[in-house]
Structures are given as structure tokens and as C-alpha cells.
């Protein structure tokens, strides 16, 4: 579905232009209707097509909120979710509170993650990516399930 790294400039209103290579797939899947929310584990945003967002929301809503960790996830992920519509020029408005959370100013990195995108401030993405590549930081650790994967 969605893969690759794109560096994008936000305009003065906080809109990002979706790279052309994704626009037709997004239009076909959800007529440009998407949801953006905070990532509860990293200081970035996640961007989902409407059908994918409905799956995420359904899974979160199906889990009882008795557990504090579950309540935390629901509050962060569902509570911060905003519907965003891709306009005729392929732009999406990223809400200011979400931009503040992710420390997004002008330059962003859009990272395809299969069924969704991650949106990072360019600075935080480069720091995170460099830490992932730094073997002394544990980048060489591979989960057992992935040890047979050949890239």
C-alpha cells in the first residue's frame, strides 16, 4: 500500500501536499477522507485512510477501559484523532494541536508504513532514524520473528 520517505514543506496554514504517487490510491480507497492522530509511542503523527481508521477505532473501542493502559491509549489515539480531507490540490490540513505535539513547524517527513503513514518533524525523524542506525543503541537487535526475513 504505502511505502517510502517523502520530505515535504508545510504551507503557512499548516497544510501538507500529499505526494502525487499516493493521491489516486487514497482517492480510490476513501475519496480523500483520512484521520490523523498522535502516535502513543513516538513523537510523531499517524495518518490513516478512513477504512483503516475505522479498524483501529473499532479495535480500541472493543477493549474494556478498566485497565489504565487501555484508557491511556484510547485517550491519546481516539481523543486526538481529527478527520482531514484531501482537497482538490492534494493537500491535508494538519491541526495545530497535533503539529505542536509532534514539534512540526515547516519541514516534515512522510513515512509510508504499509496501511498508514507516519508524519514526523524533519528534525525528530532524522534524530530517530540515526538512533535506529546506531548499532551501539541496539539497532542490531532483531526480534526472533524477523530473524529469517531476507531483505
| The CATH number of the domain covering residues in 2-137 | 3.40.1550.20
**Does residue 34 come out as left (phi exceeding 0), alpha (psi in the -120 to 50 range) or beta?**
beta
Alpha-carbon gap, residue 10 to 61, rounded angstroms: 32
How do the domains of the chain map onto residue ranges?
2-137
Total length of the chain = 151
Please count the other Cβ atoms lying within 10 Å of the Cβ belonging to residue 36.
25
* Segment 28-43, tens digit of pLDDT: 999 999 999 999 999 9
Q: How many CA atoms, within 13 angstroms, populate the side-chain half-sphere of residue 78? A: 17
Beta partners for residue 4, in sequence order: 112
- Residue 133 parent element (H or E): helix 122-133
DSSP-based three-state secondary structure for 21 = helix
* Segment 37-88, tens digit of pLDDT: 999 999 999 999 999 999 999 999 999 889 899 999 999 999 999 999 999 9
- pLDDT bracket for residue 139 (50, 70, 90): low
Amino acid at each position: 500500500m504505502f511505502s517510502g520517505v517523502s520530505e515535504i514543506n508545510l504551507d503557512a496554514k499548516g497544510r501538507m501536499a500529499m505526494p502525487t504517487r499516493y493521491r489516486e490510491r487514497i482517492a480510490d480507497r476513501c475519496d480523500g477522507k483520512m484521520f490523523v492522530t498522535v502516535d502513543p509511542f513516538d513523537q510523531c503523527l499517524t495518518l490513516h485512510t478512513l477504512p483503516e481508521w475505522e479498524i483501529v477505532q473499532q479495535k480500541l473501542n472493543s477493549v474494556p477501559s478498566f485497565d489504565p493502559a487501555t484508557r491511556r491509549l484510547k485517550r491519546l489515539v481516539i481523543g486526538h484523532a481529527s478527520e482531514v480531507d484531501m482537497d482538490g490540490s492534494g493537500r491535508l490540513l494538519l491541526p495545530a494541536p497535533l503539529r505542536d505535539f509532534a514539534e512540526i513547524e515547516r519541514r516534515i517527513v512522510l513515512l509510508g508504513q504499509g496501511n498508514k503513514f507516519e508524519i514526523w518533524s524533519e528534525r525528530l525523524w532524522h534524530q530517530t532514524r540515526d538512533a535506529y542506525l546506531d548499532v551501539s543503541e541496539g539497532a542490531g537487535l532483531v526480534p526472533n520473528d524477523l530473524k529469517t526475513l531476507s531483505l
